[in-house]
Structure formats: structure tokens, C-alpha cells
Structure 1
Amino acid sequence: MAKKLPRGIRENKGTYEARAMINGIKITLYGSDLKALIEEFTEAKEKAKSSQDYRKNRITLNEWFEEWFSTVKAHRVKETSINPMKNNFKRTFGFYIGSKKIRDIKPMDVQQALNTMEKDGISNSAMREALGRLRECMDFALGSQMISVNPCLIVEVPWTYKKAKEEIALTQEEQNEFLNEVEDSWYKEMFYFMFLTGVRVGELGGLQWPDINFARKITEINRSLSCSYYNGEKREILVTPKTVNSTRQIPFMGEIEEILKSQREKQARLKKELGNRWRGKEELGGLVFTTSMGSPCSRYIVEKEIKKVIKKRMREKEAVLAVQEHREPKIIRDFHPHTIRHTFATRCFEKKMEPKVVQKLMGHSSISITMNIYTHVLENKMNEEIQKFGSANTEQTNPYADLNIPKRTITAMSHC
């Protein structure tokens, strides 16, 4: 009768093999002396248990997050996203409860951290991102038997009842006013291009001249400019676009061909004039849109130029009021670079383009993102469109015209 061996040990051609997995620690031992192997195997399992128990009892949230992020998360995200993700955690949960041992963190600790963040003025988007990452991190701790329950699952988030800030596209009049204002600016062509393509700011900054196909009359979006700081040093590198759908081709629309040719000629002329002072970086290739010294057009540059136009209009208004003239220049309302992208989509829908076509032009990952803009445009057009409905019976005059019944408003109808 074959000798019964302890669990985890088996005989293999005259020798013995012992295998076990204790709290994520793999144990594999071999030996010809069964008694000695059993003793060694038992000792190894106890060490594994005590080692895991030590980590359970001692490891802090910051220590665990660093281990989890570097082992699990880092290889799944873009290199340029690693530092922003880690910095977001450090200034949120890492700052408020990072020194606590993960076994001691309770839902109330997470809730109090969120409440304090809100009081300290940390944005909803930063808190939402940090909480999502903390949940992932703690889920992995739960699966690794480091904790018995994920403390993030029952907290009340402060942004639940807050309406997200509405992205309001520029009207056609506002768009015209802005473009008129940049007519003599070095960045005229850049802004026209943004209004005619709806590209993201990163995609604008990463656009190279080989991406412009004048023969086929298309612009190819293949990369994005990433600007970040690492150890206090500014890094500008070209990366893959935001999503798979972001890689796309945008046909020339409006006066875009003339605008691009003007930019090419203007840039070549200035590059020749500046010579060695041209700041273009070889590793970034021949960028289409640069500063007047050849540096890449980052988000900071685009936003600064928008603010410059807005401030100029404000000064004009103040000057007019100072001399008490009757006329008053129109003020261009404050907006940020992404508003131009939203404005492009709005113009597309106003021209009655199909949502799927707009999705492709914008490079949206989902049609629902495109439809949110479409719905907003429809709401603005609702009053105008409803007037087209007319009477229920077009062959008769309205028999209730003399009853002075007030018309139901759009607001009332929306609650039906």
C-alpha cells in the first residue's frame, strides 16, 4: 500500500517535491529525505505566513499604493500619465490618510478625507480620479488578503448632487469677433485651424507637416504633444493620441487649405530670418504650429493667446467708457481652448451634419459623447423648431383663437 504523504508533498522518481502558495508567496522544495523535507516545508510555510502577517500589520497606504502602482498599474498606462497619476494621489489621499496602515483604514477615514479635500478647495475631478484609483488599489489589497473589506465602497461623494460645469460653445457671432481680433496675430492660422477641425490642443501641438496631405486634401491626426514636468524639468514629447478613435483623417473644410499654405509660407520665411535662433526641436520634427520663435504650441501658449484677446477687448471697453462715448465695443466672454473644440462640433450640427460623421471628425471614443453636444444644440433650437409644427387641422382656422388661452411654454412641456 502506497505511503500517504502530507498535503502539498508528492513523490517523484525516488525524491520528494513540496509545493504551496501561502498568501501570494510561492514555495517549492525538493529532497530525498521525507522527514527533513516536511520540517523544511513546515518552516517555510510559517515564514510565509508571518511575513504576510507582518506586511498586513505594518504597511501604510502610501507604501501599498507605491507597490501596487509600480507592479500593477504603471505598465498599463502611457509613460506620460504615470507622474500625473501618482501626483494626483499624493496630494489627495496620500496627503490626508497616506500614513495610516491599510488594515486600519475604515470608510469613515475615506469619507473624512473627502470632506476635508472639498473644504480645502480640491476640484471634483481631482477627487473623483483619486477615489477611483484608491478603489482599484484597495481592491487589489482585498484580493491579496491584506484587508478584509474595501473601505471605499460606501462613502458619500461630494460631487453627487453638483451639476457639472456646462461647456458653452461660442456663438457664430462670438467666433467671428474672436477671429477678427486675431487677424494680425502670428497665431491667426492656428486659431482658424482649430475652429475648422475641432482638434484637441495636444493634437494641434503634435501636428507635423507630413500629416498635411494637400493632394488628398486631408489632415491626418496620428500623435499628440505631451507637456509635463519631471523632477522640476519640463518635458515635451510626442505620444500616441488619446484613444484608438483619436487617430483619424479630417477632410479640408472651409478656407483651411489657404490657411495651411499661409502658415507654411509664413513659418518658412520666419525660420530663415531667425536662423540659429529658431527654437524648433529636431526630436519633435517639423511642427505645423509653433510660436514665433519655433517652440511647440502647448496648451499654455494657446490659452495665453486667448486671454490676451479677451483682455484687449476689456481695455477697449474701459477706454470707451472713460471718454463717455455712446458706442460700446462687444466683450468676448472668457473661454478656454477646449471650448473651440466644442464650438466646432456645434457648428457641424448647426449645418445638419449626421452625428456619426461628427463623431468621426472629432475622434470621440463613443457616440454618446457626441450626442451630448447634439442634444445641447437641439435644446437651443427647440423653440424655433416647435413653431414649425403649426395647427392640428391645417384646413380650419383656430376655433380657440378668441378664448385667450395662454400658450404652454417649453419648460412646462419638458415636465410632461
Structure 2
Amino acid sequence: MSVSLETGLRTGEVIGLTWDAIDWEKRTLTVNKTLEYRHKQAFWRADPPKTQQSYRTIPLTNRAYEILQSVELSRAYRKESPMLSQTLEYIDRRTGVKSQLIMRDLGFINFQTGMPNKNSSYDAHLYKLCDEAGIKRFCMHALRHTYATRAIESGMQSKVLQKLLGHASIKTTMDRYVHVTDDSMANAVRQFESYQSA
């Protein structure tokens, strides 16, 4: 979950993240596939990212880098289900070439079962945390919205945010993902006011 807050990745992008997508030297993460569990059909499905623009390489924050590094260091000790011996195939949207997702190379798996994390298990865990904190429930996708809002509040250019989120349209980024808070409005007015008096 913390990785989503630090990168803005979609849930399927987090679930489908494999170690070969991380460049430890450059401190980047490349989004080139997704993974989801299809409950009705009861099987795992690998896919290319949502759109052409969803293929992207994201510079990692120090926090994201530390999280990924700690998960990678614990990899040798994690429980692994026989399901991780599977290799899933999908068609790369950019090239039309058949590609593979090797389940054993997944970055995030359930530490209790050794299975890949299902989309719904992230939401269920978040709901439990919300209930314990006595706040209104929200889902994993809300973390992507939070990332976008905090990025704009920190001064990130909207076109840069669009690229980081993998959106085809700046309108999607700004209208659906960036939410103006009372604090950000007050800060913007103070900033405007100080500019006017300079």
C-alpha cells in the first residue's frame, strides 16, 4: 500500500510488479505489465498496461526505494506457493509480441499463503484498517488519487504528473485525480498575496 502512495501505481500494476522492472542503480521502476485475479473464472491473468501511455518509467522516491529494497532482501525467506511456478503470457500492446510474466519473480506476494496478492485482498485489508481507525472506508484506488493530489500540492507540474500516472489526457489527471483541499486553497491565496506585495 505504501508503494502506491509513493508511486501512484494502479493496483494491478503493483500486483504485477516483477523484480526485473526495478533498476536499482538508476532508482527507477518500469511499468510494463499488470496482473489481476479473475474471481468469476478463478484464474490469474497477466495483461499489458491499460493504455500506451501507461507504459512508463517512474523515478523512485527514497521511501519507495527503501520499501522495495526491504521486500527484495526478505525474498529468500518468504513462503512460496506452488502457484508461483506458473508463467503467464500476454501480448505487449506496443510491439504485438507475446510476453511473459513469471509468477516467481513477483515483488509482492501474501506472506501467509505465499500466493500473489489479489486485488480484493488489498481493499479488504484497507477496510480493516479504516474500521480500526474509525474512519470512512476507502479502496486502494483512493491511494492513487491521494498521490496525485499531494504531488500537485507539492508543486509538481501537471504534465509531469500526467506522465507519472500514465494518463493519455491531462484532463483525466486534473479532473478525476487531483482534489483541491481547503489547506491547498488557503496556501495558494497566501502565495498569491505574497507575490502581489513583492
User: Shorter-chain TM-score: which interval?
Assistant: 0.7 to 0.9
**Cα offset, 1:361, TM superposition:** 0.5
Task: Confirm or deny: 8 A CA contact 2:152 2:178 kept in the other structure.
Answer: no
- Provide Cα deviations, 1:187-236, integer angstroms capped at 9, x if missing partner: xxxx221110010011111111111110111100000113225xx54121
Match of 1:250 among 40, 58, 77: 58
1:280 counterpart = 2:79: no
Aligned partner of 1:362 in structure 2 is 165
1:310 counterpart = 2:136: no
Task: Confirm or deny: 8 A CA contact 2:131 2:137 kept in the other structure.
Answer: no
Task: Confirm or deny: 8 A CA contact 1:245 1:365 kept in the other structure.
Answer: yes
What is the CA RMSD across the aligned residues, in angstroms? 2.5
Partners of 2:51 and 2:74 lie apart in 1 by 32
**Cα offset, 1:379, TM superposition:** 6.9
Q: 1:291 to 1:375 in 2, by over 3 A?
A: closer
1:262 counterpart = 2:82: no
Partners of 2:47 and 2:155 lie apart in 1 by 34
Number of corresponding residues: 180
Unpaired segments ≥5 residues, structure 2: 88-100
User: Which amino acid letter does the alignment assign opposite residue 311 of structure 1?
Assistant: D
Match of 1:223 among 13, 23, 33: 33
Relative contact order: is structure 1 or structure 2 higher (C-alpha 8 Å, sep ≥ 6)?
Answer: 2
- Provide Cα deviations, 1:4-59, integer angstroms capped at 9, x if missing partner: xxxxxxxxxxxxxxxxxxxxxxxxxxxxxxxxxxxxxxxxxxxxxxxxxxxxxxxx
Equivalent residues in 2 for 1:33-112 (5 A)?
Answer: none
Q: TM-score, normalised to structure 1's length?
A: 0.40
User: Which amino acid letter does the alignment assign opposite residue 280 of structure 1?
Assistant: L
1:209 counterpart = 2:12: no
Q: Secondary structure at the match of 1:258?
A: helix
Aligned partner of 2:115 in structure 1 is 295
Q: 1:259 to 1:224 in 2, by over 3 A?
A: same
Aligned partner of 1:241 in structure 2 is 49
**Cα offset, 1:300, TM superposition:** 0.7
Partners of 2:4 and 2:122 lie apart in 1 by 10
Q: 1:346 to 1:280 in 2, by over 3 A?
A: same
Task: Confirm or deny: 8 A CA contact 1:349 1:374 kept in the other structure.
Answer: no
Equivalent residues in 2 for 1:125-204 (5 A)?
Answer: 191-204=1-14
Q: 1:270 to 1:378 in 2, by over 3 A?
A: closer
- Provide Cα deviations, 1:43-99, integer angstroms capped at 9, x if missing partner: xxxxxxxxxxxxxxxxxxxxxxxxxxxxxxxxxxxxxxxxxxxxxxxxxxxxxxxxx
Percent of aligned pairs with the same amino acid: 32
**Cα offset, 1:279, TM superposition:** 4.3
- Give the strand-richer structure, 1 or 2: 2
Q: Secondary structure at the match of 1:227?
A: strand
- Provide Cα deviations, 1:263-315, integer angstroms capped at 9, x if missing partner: 012232123xx6xx5542421411011111221122111101101212333xx
Task: Confirm or deny: 8 A CA contact 1:307 1:334 kept in the other structure.
Answer: yes
Q: 1:390 to 1:354 in 2, by over 3 A?
A: closer
Partners of 1:341 and 1:374 lie apart in 2 by 8
Match of 2:138 among 335, 340, 358: 335
Partners of 1:302 and 1:339 lie apart in 2 by 12
Task: Confirm or deny: 8 A CA contact 1:349 1:377 kept in the other structure.
Answer: no
Aligned partner of 1:183 in structure 2 is none
Q: 1:384 to 1:258 in 2, by over 3 A?
A: closer
Q: TM-score, normalised to structure 2's length?
A: 0.80
Equivalent residues in 2 for 1:12-27 (5 A)?
Answer: none
Task: Confirm or deny: 8 A CA contact 1:201 1:298 kept in the other structure.
Answer: no
Flag the structure with larger Rg.
Answer: 1
